[in-house]
Amino acid sequence: MAVTISLALLFGALLALLLRTRSLSGGSAFVAVMFGFYLASTGAADTVNQLMSAVVTALPNP
């Protein structure tokens, strides 16, 4: 669960950075958030979650 919250904060911070540097417009940010919201409610959510868990466990721990 902590990994999920951390990734959510990471992606939220990245989205905020893109908005601040005007690399991403407000409409594009809304579409990105809605895509993530609807992706989470599909059958792909488990696959995405497993993929992200594999990436996190593959990273070396200091």
pLDDT by residue (tens digit) across 27-52? 888 878 877 777 777 887 788 788 88
What single letter denotes the amino acid at residue 39? L
**pLDDT for the residue 40:** 79
Quick check: 16 pLDDT over 70? yes
**pLDDT for the residue 5:** 61
Confidence tier at 7 by pLDDT (50, 70, 90): low
Instruction: Give the rounded percent of residues in the chain with a pLDDT score beyond 70.
Output: 84
